[in-house]
C-alpha cells in the first residue's frame, strides 16, 4: 500500500483542508506504516501556478504549508514530505500523460468549469491541464490510496482512466489504479457564511473559513458569527436534512471531536445555537490552537523547514525515477 496526496500552497491551510484531508493523512501515516506501507505527502506548488499568485506569496506559502502539515502531525521522518518542484519527474510524467488523456475527458471536469467561469478563453492552459499533472503526481509513485475531500474525486477518477488507457495503449501493467479515499467524517466542509458553497482558500470573505493560522480569538469569533438558523438542534440527525448551516456546524463539531454526528446530536439535542456555537468555538480553539502554536515555532527557522523539504524530495526522487524511466521506455523514448 502506498498513500499519496497533495495540497496547493495558494493560501493557508483551512478547516476544510484539515478535516477533509490532512486529518486522514495523519491517521493513515500510523495505520499504513504499521502494515508495512508508505505515505507520501507533497505541497502542490506547480498546481499553485494555475491561477495567478504573486511569486513571493507562493514561496512563503510553500514553507508555511509545510510547517502547518508538520504541526498537524505529518512526521517528515516517517512520511515522505516534499514539494512537487523539487521532484522534476512530476512534470516529466505529466507531459507523457498529456498524450494519453483525451480533450473530451478534461472537458468534463467540473473544477475547471467552476474556476474558469464564463471566461474560458482567458483561463490558463495549466488550469485546463491541472488534472493530468494530478494524475502524474499519483501514478509516478504507483499510489494505491489517495486521501482527499469529495471535490477531488472526479480528478482521481480521471487518473484511473489515464492509468488504464496507458496500460492498454502500451501493452503494459505499469500503472496501478489509485483508489480515492474520501473522508467519511468531513467529505465537504461548507463556508461558515453560506452553506451552499464549500469552504475554500479562494472565498473572498475571511469570515467564511477558519485558517489554522488564526489566533484563538479569531477562531472563536468566526464560529460565534457563523450563519445558522433560529431553531434548536433536532432530536435526531434526520432533522438536519433541510438545515444546511446546522448540518455543517454539527459535521464540524463531530469531525473535530472524533465522534459521530449522532453522538453530537445525542449530547446537544434541544440546544439553541446561542449555546452550541460557543461550545463549538471552545472545541475548535482547544483542537486547533496547539497546531498553530507548533507551526509558529517551526516558522522561527524557515531555512530548516526548507531543508526538510529538500530531504523529502531526495527520497521522492529515488522512488519516482525508476517509474518514470519505465514509462518512457514503454512509450519508445530513448533515454
Ligand atoms: P486543495 O489544496 O484544494 O485541497 C487540499 C485537500 O483538502 C480537501 N478540501 C476539502 N475537504 C473537505 N471540505 C472542504 N471544504 C475542502 N476544501 C478542500 C481537498 O479535497 C484536498 O484533498 N488538487 C488538489 C491537490 C493535489 C492532489 C494531487 C491531491 C495535487 N495533486 C494528487 C491528491 C493527489 C487540491 O487542489 O487540493
The torsion of the CA quartet 188, 62, 60, 13, rounded to 10 degrees, works out to: 20
The CA-to-CA distance between both ends of the chain, in Å, stands at 29
What CA–CA distance (Å, rounded) separates 110 from 125? 16
Give distance in angstroms: CA of 152 to centre of ligand 1: 6
Q: pLDDT tens digits for 188-214?
A: 999 999 999 999 988 889 999 999 999
> What's the pLDDT at 284?
98
Confidence of residue 33 (pLDDT cuts 50, 70, 90): confident
ipTM associated with this complex: 0.99
The answer to whether 308 and 66 have CB atoms below 8 angstroms apart is: yes
Mean pLDDT of 312-325: 98
Determine the length of the chain: 335
| 335: pLDDT strictly greater than 90 | no
> What's the pLDDT at 202?
85
Give distance in angstroms: CA of 21 to centre of ligand 1: 7
Q: pLDDT tens digits for 251-309?
A: 999 999 999 999 999 999 999 999 999 999 999 999 999 999 999 999 999 999 999 99
Confidence of residue 67 (pLDDT cuts 50, 70, 90): very high
Pocket test of ligand 1: the residue of 15, 149, 244 to mutate, having most ligand atoms within 8 Å of its CB, is 149
pTM of this prediction?
0.97
Question: Please, what sign has the CA dihedral across residues 5, 147, 296, 45?
Answer: positive
- Please work out whether the CB of residue 199 comes within 6 Å of at least one atom of ligand 1: yes
Question: What's 62-110 look like in SS3?
Answer: HHHHHHHHHHHCCCCCCCEEEEHHHCCHHHHHHHHHHCCCCHHHHHCCH
Which three-class secondary structure state does DSSP give residue 40? strand
Amino acid at each position: 500500500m502506498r498513500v499519496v496526496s497533495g495540497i496547493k500552497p495558494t493560501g493557508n491551510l483551512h478547516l476544510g483542508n484539515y478535516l477533509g484531508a490532512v486529518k486522514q493523512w495523519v491517521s493513515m501515516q500510523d495505520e499504513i506504516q504499521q502494515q508495512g506501507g508508505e505515505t507520501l505527502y507533497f505541497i502542490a506548488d506547480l498546481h499553485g501556478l494555475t491561477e495567478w499568485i504573486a511569486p513571493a506569496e507562493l514561496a512563503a506559502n510553500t514553507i508555511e504549508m509545510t510547517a502547518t502539515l508538520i504541526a498537524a502531525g505529518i512526521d517528515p521522518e516517517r512520511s515522505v514530505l516534499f514539494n512537487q518542484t523539487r521532484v522534476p519527474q512530476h512534470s516529466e510524467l505529466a507531459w507523457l500523460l498529456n498524450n494519453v488523456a483525451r480533450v473530451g475527458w478534461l472537458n468534463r471536469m467540473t473544477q475547471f468549469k467552476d474556476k474558469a467561469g464564463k471566461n474560458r478563453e482567458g483561463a490558463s492552459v495549466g488550469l485546463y491541464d491541472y488534472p493530468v499533472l494530478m494524475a502524474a503526481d499519483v501514478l509516478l509513485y504507483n499510489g494505491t490510496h489517495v486521501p482527499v475531500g469529495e471535490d477531488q474525486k472526479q480528478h482521481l477518477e480521471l487518473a484511473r482512466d489515464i492509468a488504464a488507457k496507458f496500460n492498454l495503449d502500451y501493452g503494459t501493467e505499469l500503472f496501478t489504479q489509485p483508489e480515492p479515499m474520501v473522508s467519511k467524517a468531513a467529505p465537504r466542509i461548507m463556508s461558515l457564511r453560506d452553506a451552499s458553497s464549500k469552504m475554500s482558500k479562494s472565498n473572498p470573505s475571511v469570515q467564511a473559513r477558519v485558517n489554522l493560522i488564526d489566533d484563538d480569538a479569531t477562531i472563536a469569533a468566526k464560529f460565534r458569527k457563523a450563519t445558522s438558523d433560529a431553531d434548536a438542534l433536532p432530536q435526531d440527525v434526520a432533522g438536519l436534512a433541510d438545515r444546511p448551516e446546522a448540518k455543517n456546524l454539527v459535521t464540524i463539531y463531530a469531525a473535530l471531536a472524533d465522534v459521530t454526528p449522532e453522538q453530537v446530536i445525542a449530547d446537544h439535542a434541544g440546544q439553541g445555537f446561542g449555546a452550541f456555537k460557543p461550545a463549538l468555538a471552545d472545541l475548535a480553539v482547544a483542537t486547533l490552537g496547539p497546531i498553530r502554536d507548533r507551526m509558529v515555532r517551526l516558522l522561527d527557522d524557515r531555512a530548516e523547514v526548507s531543508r526538510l523539504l529538500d530531504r523529502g524530495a531526495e527520497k521522492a526522487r529515488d522512488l519516482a525515477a525508476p517509474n518514470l524511466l519505465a514509462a518512457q521506455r514503454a512509450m519508445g523514448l530513448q533515454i
